[in-house]
Structure 1
Amino acid sequence: MTIEHLHHLFLEFPLVCTDTRKISPNCIFFALKGDNFNGNTYAAQALEKGASYAIVDEEEFAGHDKAILVNNVLNTLQELSQFHRNYCKAKVIGLTGSNGKTTTKELITAVLSRKYKTIATKGNLNNHIGVPLTLLSITPDTEMAIVEMGANHLKEIEFLCKLAMPDFGYITNFGKAHLEGFGSEEGVIKGKSELYDYLTSNDKSIFFNADDPIQKEKLSKVIKKFGYSQNKSEFFGIKLIGADPFVKIAVDDIQITTQLVGSYNFTNCCAAILIGKYFNVELDEIKRGIENYIPQNNRSQIIKKNGHHIILDAYNANPTSMKAALENFQQLKADNKIAFLGDMFELGKTAEKEHQEISNIATNMKFDQVFLIGENFFKTKSDLRKFKSFDHLRETLNNKTLKNATILIKGSRGMALERILDLI
């Protein structure tokens, strides 16, 4: 079956599923494979649960009249998504960066949705499977599609751009993330800049932070670019009023008071404002979109519990985002500040150095208490309280009362530090 023929089926049954636990009636099931599973073995079950067709790549599972045999299910999913993206008329905005991708994506969506029929990446489904699923969620009436692109190796953004074919793009920043895969900070810059490379080589437009020296240098010769700045009059001006704790922004003569904690979220808001203005969303509507956005999923959430004010930022962490979170926490006007910091993953050979540096920063900030959790932080040299695992922390906190504290919880996803909420 050709991709064109498969696309005709998809238009008739425009819902894709890759997990038999989430089968919806009349969906098309793609039997993907992983390190510990083979989706082909679930194809019959998917059809029994109501899938219209099952796409498989092993002949022994293709006996059902609704099973479609292809050479490679993943490649077919990707090719179908590319075909569908080309078929639809929606404008596609590609988004990548080391930190803040998902929050920025949600803010842009909140703004553009005030005027346009908009879809966006769900959660952080931003890889070689998630991007195709996002593209396949574009409907005939979709006007804007915001596609988040994640990567931890070179050439991954380049590949995702070939699928999504973005008309516009934005890079949040270049930070110390996924150093194990990229090899160095230079590797991060090169890898994330693959979005710029695609856009410029295809005469597409770029949104950017004109106050970021790396972005400014890389785009110095690019014509089709639209930037924001706090300092440069030749770009769209947006000012940070403050962040204690919520980010407040001035645009023209309008003040926007967000529900986002941390000055590091300022540029995320700026991107949404700039893109909204570019697409002629009225500033009052931009303000409503941003002010109504409430962070979820452990991203810069403010939680009040048992007399504590808690900043829960435990969705993920790397040295750049960890430093930014600590700097913001230091600036807050509050008593009894306590920081829980969890290991940062995917740092490769730089892990020891980066964890020691964060430990030093936290020590110098002289918070009332700092708890370091995880094997990497446990190895650091400092006078801070260190715990090799979450279980060791639990044993300590169960016997310790924290009273009326302002608390920061920050760590990589694998640390699952949101569990601390059950202990305080």
Structure 2
Amino acid sequence: MSTTEELYQHFLKNPVISTDTRNISDGCIFFALKGDNFNANTFAAQAIDKGASFAVVDEAEYVTSERYLLVEDTLSALQDLASHHRKQLNIPVIGLTGSNGKTTSKELVNAVLAERYKTFATFGNLNNHIGVPLSILSIGSDVEIAVIEMGANHQKEIELLCTIAQPTHGIITNVGMAHLDGFGGFEGVKKGKAELYAYLKETQGYTFINRDNSHLMEMSAAAGLSKLIFYGTENGNTIKGELKSSDPFIEVVWTNHEILSTVKTNLTGSYNFENILASICIGDFFDMNPEEINNGLANYQPQNNRSQLTKTESNTVICDFYNANPSSMSAALDNIAVLTADKKIAILGDMFELGAESAGQHKLIAEQAVKSGLDKIIFIGKYFSVLSNDYAGVFFETPAQAIEYLAENKITNSLVLLKGSRGMKLESLLAYL
């Protein structure tokens, strides 16, 4: 069996990891992971043939030469390797989690810090038990600060990710109605996210907290955290901010008790105000001046269909369909309700992973939508469709049916909110808007 130290020596000479034979680069190390419907040990030889220097496998029958490295369990070996690599990095690592805004916050923090430091930030949404190890193993020796996003849909997952990423600093953006099925309700969400606070308490790390958020304040007090850096809208915070405008882009006035500063961003959605404030607070903590912080925020361009304002030939679309849960859906509806437009339309797709609360949460969102003063609401998905007799709106069970409708009933000169869970694949509707 290959030990973690032996794997690490190979990694130092071949510092690129792959878990997918479709993305093999010359000299990489391939980890043959297993899933419910696949066993990548069967692809190990293919990875070697494509140029991988080594293939890490956990079934002896696939070891046919010295280029196959046998371990007890490939996933554990990957995680242990990442943890070992992290121990060699003498840099601040900011662990970031939350129910909503994780990826946007991560991108904003990185955009700010990159104005002064050589940074690394989680690529895309590689934030789970596989993505976090891959992220850690991508941190080079020249990196000065890393921002690691940590996602979870059940208890003990954040705890595991902390043992891999070993954050020296941490932030929970918020806690909301997300992954209720896996966490067992809202209190379960709070308990799961608070695993980051527990780790920071144990390791004497620093924690950035939105003082306006009563849930986070309660959770931090319960964890017994001591190294706290606060941001919010009231006096007494390290960073105090005010939302000056959010129609359609966010403008923030903020102060660090010394300098009053204003920054205009390319982000839409007033719910992103707290994410912006968090990135300001973290930049300030790492000794950045207001000009550097504001430059990072002003130059950041949202992408990946998160709070992204897109101009089509016919409409302005708020592309926020990367994912959705009741908390983020409600915030998106609140946002479009206060934006200025001649005609406003919401196209809402089902929200997943809500378990026993699914029917009730979809009903609450439908109620909010019809009270939002919108000119039209289109609901898509099986959970929303069962409400078709109870609420005004146009209902479809599938995106394909909605596309047929949009092709025949053109939407023009409108501000359109397009939001739903990732599995709804609402991006398919964008061409018809």
TM-score normalised by L of structure 2 = 0.96
- 1:299-326: CA deviations, max 9, x gaps? 1111111231111100000000000000
CA distance in 1 between counterparts of 2:167 and 2:277 reads 20
Structure 1 residue corresponding to 2:271, chosen from 245, 264, 280: 264
Q: CA deviation at 1:392?
A: 1.5
Q: CA deviation at 1:271?
A: 1.0
Aligned counterparts, 1:147-296, within 5 A = 147-220=148-221, 221-252=224-255, 253-296=260-303
Q: Is 1:383 matched with 2:374?
A: no
The answer as to whether partners of 2:102 and 2:149 remain within 8 angstroms in 1 is yes
The answer as to whether partners of 1:306 and 1:404 remain within 8 angstroms in 2 is no
2:142 counterpart SS class: coil
Q: CA deviation at 1:234?
A: 4.1
CA distance in 1 between counterparts of 2:162 and 2:22 reads 30
1:208 counterpart SS class: strand
Corresponding letter in the other structure for 1:84: H
Corresponding letter in the other structure for 2:245: G
Q: CA deviation at 1:156?
A: 0.6
Segments of structure 1 that go 5 or more residues without pairing to the other structure are none
CA distance in 2 between counterparts of 1:412 and 1:56 reads 35
Q: Is 1:144 matched with 2:140?
A: no
Q: CA deviation at 1:115?
A: 1.3
The answer as to whether partners of 1:303 and 1:310 remain within 8 angstroms in 2 is yes
Q: Which residue of 1 aligns with 2:92?
A: 91
The answer as to whether partners of 2:239 and 2:254 remain within 8 angstroms in 1 is no
Corresponding letter in the other structure for 2:328: S
Corresponding letter in the other structure for 1:164: A
Corresponding letter in the other structure for 2:69: I
CA distance in 1 between counterparts of 2:250 and 2:282 reads 19
CA distance in 2 between counterparts of 1:223 and 1:399 reads 60
1:238 counterpart SS class: strand
Deviates more, 1:298-307 or 1:76-85: 298-307
Corresponding letter in the other structure for 2:57: V
Q: Which residue of 2 aligns with 1:29?
A: 30
Deviates more, 1:388-397 or 1:128-137: 388-397
Q: CA deviation at 1:404?
A: 0.7
- 1:23-78: CA deviations, max 9, x gaps? 11111110111112111111111111111111011111111221111111101000
CA distance in 2 between counterparts of 1:190 and 1:148 reads 18
Q: CA deviation at 1:138?
A: 1.3
Aligned counterparts, 1:98-113, within 5 A = 98-113=99-114
1:398 counterpart SS class: helix
Q: Which residue of 2 aligns with 1:131?
A: 132
- 1:339-364: CA deviations, max 9, x gaps? 10000000001010000000000111
Q: Is 1:308 matched with 2:308?
A: no
CA distance in 2 between counterparts of 1:299 and 1:366 reads 23
1:77 counterpart SS class: helix
Q: CA deviation at 1:235?
A: 3.6
Corresponding letter in the other structure for 2:402: L
Corresponding letter in the other structure for 2:197: Y
Aligned counterparts, 1:340-359, within 5 A = 340-359=347-366
Corresponding letter in the other structure for 1:308: N
Segments of structure 2 that go 5 or more residues without pairing to the other structure are none
Structure 2 residue corresponding to 1:416, chosen from 403, 420, 425: 425
1:86 counterpart SS class: helix
1:339 counterpart SS class: strand
Q: CA deviation at 1:123?
A: 0.5
Corresponding letter in the other structure for 1:266: F
Q: CA deviation at 1:421?
A: 1.1
The answer as to whether partners of 2:314 and 2:411 remain within 8 angstroms in 1 is no
Q: CA deviation at 1:219?
A: 2.5
User: Structure 1 residues 23 and 234 mapped into 2: Cα distance closer, same or farther (>3 Å)?
Assistant: closer
Q: Is 1:362 matched with 2:369?
A: yes
Compute the RMSD of aligned alpha carbons.
1.0
- 1:162-220: CA deviations, max 9, x gaps? 11111010000000000000111000001001000110122111011011011122324
- 1:346-396: CA deviations, max 9, x gaps? 000101000000000011112100000000000122122111111221221
Equivalent residue pairs, number = 424
Q: Which residue of 1 aligns with 2:78?
A: 77
CA distance in 2 between counterparts of 1:306 and 1:141 reads 44
Deviates more, 1:318-327 or 1:46-55: 46-55
Deviates more, 1:185-194 or 1:225-234: 225-234
Q: Is 1:334 matched with 2:341?
A: yes
The answer as to whether partners of 1:89 and 1:140 remain within 8 angstroms in 2 is no
1:193 counterpart SS class: helix
Corresponding letter in the other structure for 2:134: L
CA distance in 2 between counterparts of 1:137 and 1:211 reads 35
The answer as to whether partners of 1:17 and 1:27 remain within 8 angstroms in 2 is yes
The answer as to whether partners of 1:179 and 1:185 remain within 8 angstroms in 2 is yes
Deviates more, 1:276-285 or 1:247-256: 247-256
Deviates more, 1:347-356 or 1:244-253: 244-253
The answer as to whether partners of 1:210 and 1:235 remain within 8 angstroms in 2 is no
Corresponding letter in the other structure for 2:226: I
User: Structure 1 residues 26 and 112 mapped into 2: Cα distance closer, same or farther (>3 Å)?
Assistant: same
Q: Is 1:13 matched with 2:22?
A: no
